[in-house]
Amino acid sequence: MAKKKVAKKKAKKAEPKLVKDAKQKGEQIPLIDVTPVYAKKLITAAKLYKELQVERMDALEAEIAQKKVVCEIMHDKVDADDNGNRKFEYEGLKITVTPRDELVKVVKKKETIQLED
């Protein structure tokens, strides 16, 4: 007895319309999605970076203005040493202004804890 070959029916895939047919009907032809899988994550990270950059620039402007105030007070009230540096210490805070680029350093000294015997 001979076995008959039965052809399996394959599910037809939706075929994209031809460009010619789409132009005639005024329809959009199907487009291929070419967006990288990491695009959403990258865009989110880039937007956050830009927000932080704007905040940093705003803070930088305030820092520059405050540096100018510190320099003015130091020049008016504190005498310079032989090298032109101006130093001021008070309540654990040390402020130094170096004349070359008006470099301002503010250092808060660490508190020392003495243990009782």
Number of domains forming the structure of the chain: 1
Bridge partners, 108 (sequence order):
93
- Would the CA dihedral through 59, 68, 80, 92 be positive or negative? negative
Looking at the domain assignment, is residue 75 inside a domain? yes
Looking at the domain assignment, is residue 114 inside a domain? no
pLDDT in tens, 15-46: 555 555 555 666 777 777 777 888 888 889 99
Whole-model pTM: value is 0.52
Looking at the domain assignment, is residue 101 inside a domain? yes
**Which residue range forms the structural domain that includes residue 58?**
37-108
Q: 74: exposed, middle or buried (C-beta count within 10 Å: 0-12, 13-18, 19+)? A: buried
Looking at the domain assignment, is residue 16 inside a domain? no
Higher pLDDT, 83 or 111: 83
Query: Distance from CA of residue 82 to its chain's centroid?
Result: 43
Looking at the domain assignment, is residue 67 inside a domain? yes
pLDDT in tens, 38-87: 888 888 999 999 999 999 999 999 999 999 999 999 999 999 999 899 99
Looking at the domain assignment, is residue 2 inside a domain? no
Looking at the domain assignment, is residue 82 inside a domain? yes
pLDDT for position 117: 36
Looking at the domain assignment, is residue 98 inside a domain? yes
